[in-house]
């Protein structure tokens, strides 16, 4: 089976090669190009394609794929919002995905952001390299006995709760769809008003768009820490700037950003960034931004490759596919 893998990055090839070697019937060709109207012709001669979050799988691209006799789209990510499912269905194309590759990877990154912001290890690293051992400006706070609010307690939120309990934190959870657990369930207003640290782990939907806005900041404690490793648009970035300037927001850790598709996963270091909101955000000393790397561990990449290869083999062999979208 010949697979055209689009948007390929060097860091994921060893993981896919490892599983492809164990399954010689799979032949993977890596294309660095994103899949879109211009590049879809590259899929000619392949049996299936493997796509990622920013690949375009709209009705036109899928129709062209169908004309090339491609019958399986293997997404190597959880989300499928970039796929025109009705068109794929109409052409009898199977779509598979990787629903959960490592909730712990994201939860641990979230804790890394919390501890870096609190203990200022990023600043200490630079100081010590210049033989500056002054502790002024590095004063942190304990997570022990702090109240930490987790909004959305699915796979990642629960993994985070488990870690935070180990810190001896008082963990509050707001999630309409979970029962009792190793946390205290509260409503959103109570979570916003009582938490020293707030971490977002709900999906982006119409209801959760700008869940954290000016009104939400007004309900929070002064000097609160906010962490977003979920989706950028859960937070109103401009409201964050206001809250940082007024010192309502004491610490901000972001792994996702509203307009990230223009910025993340690429090197823009030689360019002039046009996004003034982003530039203002990263200029604050108490803001830490990482470029959507919460998922980026060896374990998660290995799991993504393993499940994608399993999905493709199950499809090829006409077996039941656990992770079939349609």
What are the residue numbers of the active site? Answer: 231, 260, 292
Measured at CB, which residue is nearest to ligand NAI? 154
Tell me the DSSP string of 32-91.
-SPPSTTTGGGGTT-SEEEE-TT--B-HHHHHHHHHTT--EEEESSS--TTB-HHHHHHT
Taking a C-beta distance cutoff of 8 angstroms, is the pair 326, 94 a contact?
yes
Question: What's the closest the beta carbon of residue 106 comes to ligand NAI, in angstroms?
Answer: 5
CA atoms of 260 and 141, how far apart (whole Å): 30
Q: Structure tokens of 289?
A: 């931004």
Residue matched to tokens 């970035």:
237
Question: What's the closest the beta carbon of residue 178 comes to ligand NAI, in angstroms?
Answer: 6
Question: What's the closest the beta carbon of residue 293 comes to ligand NAI, in angstroms?
Answer: 7
Q: How many residues does the chain have?
A: 326
Taking a C-beta distance cutoff of 8 angstroms, is the pair 288, 117 a contact?
yes
Site string for ligand NAI, 197-236 (x = CB under 6 A): ----xxx---xx--------------------xxx-----
Question: What's the closest the beta carbon of residue 301 comes to ligand NAI, in angstroms?
Answer: 12
Residue of 34, 71, 91, 155 that binds ligand NAI (CB under 6 A): 155
Total chain residues near ligand NAI (CB under 6 A): 27
**Residues of span 171-190 touching ligand NAI by CB under 6 A:** 174-175, 177-178
Stretch that binds ligand NAI, among 4-12, 53-61, 98-106, 131-139 (CB under 6 A): 98-106
**Cβ-count burial 284-318 (b if 16+ within 10 Å, e if not):** eeebbbbebebbbbeebbbbbbbbbbbbbbbbbee
Task: List residues near ligand NAI by CB under 6 A.
Answer: 100, 103, 106, 151-157, 174-175, 177-178, 201-203, 207-208, 229-231, 255-256, 292, 294-295
């Amino acid at each position: 089976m010949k697979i055209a893998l689009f948007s390929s990055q060097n860091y994921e090839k060893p993981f896919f090669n490892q599983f492809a070697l164990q399954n010689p019937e799979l032949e993977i060709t890596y294309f660095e190009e994103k899949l879109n109207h211009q590049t879809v012709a590259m899929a000619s001669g392949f049996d299936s394609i493997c796509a990622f979050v920013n690949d375009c799988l709209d009705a036109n691209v899928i129709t062209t794929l169908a004309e090339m006799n491609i019958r399986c789209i293997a997404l190597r990510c959880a989300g499928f919002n970039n796929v025109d499912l009705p068109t794929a269905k109409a052409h009898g194309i199977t779509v598979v995905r990787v629903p959960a590759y490592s909730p712990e990877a994201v939860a641990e990154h979230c804790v890394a952001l919390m501890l870096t912001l609190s203990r200022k290890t990023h600043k200490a690293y630079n100081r010590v390299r210049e033989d500056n051992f002054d502790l002024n400006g590095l004063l942190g706070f304990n997570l022990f006995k702090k109240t930490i609010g987790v909004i959305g307690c699915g796979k990642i939120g629960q993994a985070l709760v488990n870690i935070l309990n180990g810190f001896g934190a008082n963990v509050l959870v707001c999630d309409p769809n979970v029962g009792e657990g190793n946390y205290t369930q509260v409503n959103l207003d109570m979570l916003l008003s009582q938490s020293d640290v707030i971490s977002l782990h709900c999906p982006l939907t119409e209801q959760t768009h700008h869940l954290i806005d000016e009104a939400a900041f007004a309900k929070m404690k002064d000097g609160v820490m906010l962490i977003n490793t979920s989706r950028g648009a859960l937070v109103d970035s401009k409201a964050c700037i206001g809250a940082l300037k007024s010192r309502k927001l004491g610490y901000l850790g972001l792994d996702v950003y509203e307009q990230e598709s223009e910025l993340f996963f690429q090197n823009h270091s030689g360019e002039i960034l046009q996004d003034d909101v982003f530039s203002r955000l990263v200029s604050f000393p108490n803001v830490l931004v990482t470029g959507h790397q919460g998922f980026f561990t060896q374990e998660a990449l290995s799991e993504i490759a393993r499940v994608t290869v399993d999905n493709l083999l199950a499809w090829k062999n006409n077996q039941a596919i656990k992770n079939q979208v349609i």
